[in-house]
């Protein structure tokens, strides 16, 4: 590719042709601030925070760096007095309609608007205060709230919902000064076909969008002497929790996480990976049964509740293709309140199961029908990675100095197959490791064709006498594309994995929020997934059927995968829903 030469703050820099001023500055080691910009999906130049001076032979003028293309021999000034003054005035105008309750805001200390005010030296946040619009907080969704009083109209959430996820249940309503982000006809988010993925929260630069926080309820349960409170943590949490404490992206903090959870007072600290191994035993068995007995194909994984709800709304005729297996979160909870409760002699009503998930849709999932194997909810509270980070911080626990500790047994024993559930393609690979063993007796560990962060991946594997065609999709716009091809007869598969969030659970809506300056230039999905694949490679057990705790739970309780008891406890049903935007 042809390169251009530009001069940034007096220094010559070579950049690829087609680079924007923002990208050129990044190459030169200079971060130009942004608010609305999200690479590839929200390149609209609307907020004007990124304005920069450029000279292309006609004198210096201000342009929006995020969308303005570089030209050869262009001169760029990223922090001249004129630039700083323009950014500061723009920010002061944005702040004039922003509810500035920073001390009590969930994003305080991690707010892009707050950081900009500090960086630009805003001394009077109310300089341009005047008439403001007031909005009711929307609490209608199971997983999140929306507070338009803190919205800055950057439209990142709109882009994430419409372009990344292909759903589009939110957008700009009204015009001019009355513009606000909301759903059609002023519906509450919970009344729409929102799938609870939380990708809008992940990209919001302020506290306008956030998950519903249940940390107080969890701490109250821990403090109740009549309750046995256990916690389970999803594989992706260990790959991202460290970011809440300024550790490098992709640091695996499993041991410190376990230590922190014990110090928070949980009676037992278990691993959702146990539930993932259990899911594979049931799912691989279900897949083999469908293959052998002419069942509904392609079979589609059911681990991602955002994807399941998307299927129910937008592809209701394909709900029969969904695996009937509960997700690992729900399988773990169901097993804890049946097998574990029986083993420990505890009434299931006195067991409180708390999950820590990278996913906001898990908050919706715990309230679904057919998720109460013991007559009480399988899982009582689903917390996000962010909520756990806040709990640890508020408890005064010095996370980075904690020793590494191990999960409790038996529901803390797992395999590498379970660990990679957090990355797109991981569920498929884990299922294939066990399905291949079941069908052929051979042990195959790696399926590299379905690894990586691409939106859609395909492969064909020879399994005994069968050619098994598989596909993997992450991000719901990619899921829509893939399933439309299946419906139209343009694609033929036996097994499909779909994750609601791009890149899988590592990039879930409940993971630590990173600012645009990081999100636009760092592949969060790849860095976090690397931590999981590295852990998998180092584990002595890498296939779910090798897990001794899984063998024990079948020997002592379920019998065999797919048994009547397993179906009662570990499987679920689905609903054909309508689309309501």
Q: Which of 491, 430, 130 is CA-nearest to residue 287? A: 430
What is the model's pLDDT at position 349?
A: 97
N-terminal to C-terminal alpha carbon distance within the chain = 43
pLDDT in tens, 190-216: 999 999 999 999 999 999 999 999 999
Looking at the predicted structure, is the pLDDT value of residue 462 above 90?
Answer: no
| Dist CA 236 CA 419 (whole Å) | 8
Eight-class DSSP state of 181: E
- Whether 317 contacts 293, CB under 8 Å: no
Backbone φ and ψ for 452, nearest 5 degrees, come out as: 105, 170
Q: pLDDT (tens digit, 9 = 90+) per residue, 340-365?
A: 999 999 999 999 999 999 999 999 99
What is the residue-wise DSSP string for 92-141? Answer: HHHHTTS---GGG-TTTTS-HHHHHHHHTT---TTTT---------B--S
Where helices occur in 441-563 by DSSP H, the ranges are 476-487, 516-519, 524-538, 548-553
CB 321 within 8 A of CB 347: no
What pLDDT score was predicted for residue 580?
79
The string of pLDDT tens digits covering residues 441-461 is 888 888 999 999 999 999 999
3-class secondary-structure state, position 332: helix
- The DSSP secondary-structure symbol of 410 reads S
Nearest alpha carbon to residue 273 among 498, 562, 512, 541: 541
pLDDT bin (cut points 50, 70, 90) of residue 466 is confident
Q: At what angle do helices 254-264 and 385-394 cross, to 10 degrees?
A: 60
Report how far residue 329's alpha carbon sits from residue 387's, in angstroms, rounded to the nearest whole number.
17
Neighbours of 251 (CB within 10 A): 18
Is the pLDDT at 1 greater than 80? The verdict is no
**What interhelical angle do 112-119 and 81-95 show, nearest 10?**
140
pTM: 0.95
- List, in order of start, the domains of the chain with CATH numbers: 3-94 (3.10.20.740), 133-211 (3.30.70.20), 216-570 (3.40.50.1780)
How confident is the model at residue 302, as a pLDDT? 95
* Those residues with Cβ within 8 angstroms of residue 40's Cβ, 6 or more apart along the chain or in another chain: none
């Amino acid at each position: 590719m042809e390169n251009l030469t530009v001069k940034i703050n007096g220094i010559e820099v070579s950049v690829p042709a087609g680079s924007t001023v923002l990208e050129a500055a990044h190459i030169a080691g200079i971060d130009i601030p942004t608010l609305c910009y999200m690479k590839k999906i929200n390149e609209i130049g609307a907020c004007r925070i990124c304005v920069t001076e450029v000279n292309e032979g006609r004198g210096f003028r201000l342009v929006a760096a995020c969308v303005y293309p570089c030209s050869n021999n262009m001169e760029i000034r990223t922090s001249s007095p004129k630039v700083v003054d323009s950014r500061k005035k723009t920010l002061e105008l944005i702040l004039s309609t922003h509810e500035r309750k920073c001390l009590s805001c969930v994003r305080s200390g991690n707010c892009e608007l707050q950081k900009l005010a500090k960086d630009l030296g805003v001394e009077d946040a109310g300089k341009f205060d005047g008439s403001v619009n007031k909005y009711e907080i929307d609490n209608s969704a199971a997983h999140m709230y929306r507070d338009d009083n803190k919205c800055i109209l950057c439209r990142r959430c709109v882009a994430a919902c419409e372009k990344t996820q292909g759903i589009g249940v939110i957008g700009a309503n009204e015009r001019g000064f009355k513009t606000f982000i909301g759903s059609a006809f002023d519906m509450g988010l919970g009344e729409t076909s929102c799938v609870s993925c939380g990708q809008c929260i992940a990209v919001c630069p302020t506290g306008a969008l956030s998950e519903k926080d249940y940390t107080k309820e969890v701490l109250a349960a821990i403090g109740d002497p009549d309750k046995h409170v256990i916690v389970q943590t999803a594989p992706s949490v260990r790959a991202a929790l460290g970011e809440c404490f300024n550790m490098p992206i992709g640091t695996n903090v499993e041991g410190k996480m376990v230590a922190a959870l014990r110090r928070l007072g949980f009676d037992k600290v278990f691993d959702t990976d146990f539930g993932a191994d259990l899911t594979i035993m049931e799912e691989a068995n279900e897949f083999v049964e469908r293959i052998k007995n002419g069942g509904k194909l392609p079979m589609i994984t059911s681990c991602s509740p955002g994807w399941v709800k998307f299927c129910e709304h937008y592809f209701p005729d394909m709900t029969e293709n969904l695996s009937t297996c509960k997700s690992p979160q729900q399988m773990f909870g169901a097993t804890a309140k049946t097998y574990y409760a029986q083993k420990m002699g505890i009434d299931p009503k006195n067991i409180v199961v708390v999950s820590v998930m990278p996913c906001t849709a898990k908050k919706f999932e715990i309230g679904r029908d057919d998720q109460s194997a013991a007559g009480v909810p399988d899982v009582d509270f689903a917390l996000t990675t962010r909520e756990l980070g806040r709990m640890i911080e508020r408890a005064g626990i010095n996370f980075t100095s904690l020793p590494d500790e191990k999960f409790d047994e038996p529901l803390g024993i797992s395999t590498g197959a379970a660990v990679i559930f957090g990355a797109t393609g991981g569920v498929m690979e884990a299922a294939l490791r066990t399905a291949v063993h079941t069908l052929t007796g051979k042990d195959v560990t790696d399926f590299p064709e379905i690894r990586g962060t691409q939106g859609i991946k395909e492969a064909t594997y020879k399994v005994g006498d069968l050619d098994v065609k598989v596909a993997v999709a992450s991000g719901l716009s990619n899921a829509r594309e893939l399933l439309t091809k299946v419906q139209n007869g343009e694609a033929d598969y036996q097994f499909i994995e779909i994750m609601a969030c791009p890149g899988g659970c590592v990039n879930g809506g409940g993971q630590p929020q990173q600012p645009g300056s990081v999100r636009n230039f760092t592949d969060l999905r790849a860095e976090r997934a690397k931590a999981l694949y590295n852990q998998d490679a180092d584990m002595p057990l890498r296939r779910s059927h090798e897990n001794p705790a899984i063998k024990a739970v079948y020997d002592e309780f379920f019998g065999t995968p797919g048994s009547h008891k397993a179906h009662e406890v570990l499987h679920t049903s689905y609903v054909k829903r309508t689309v309501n935007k």
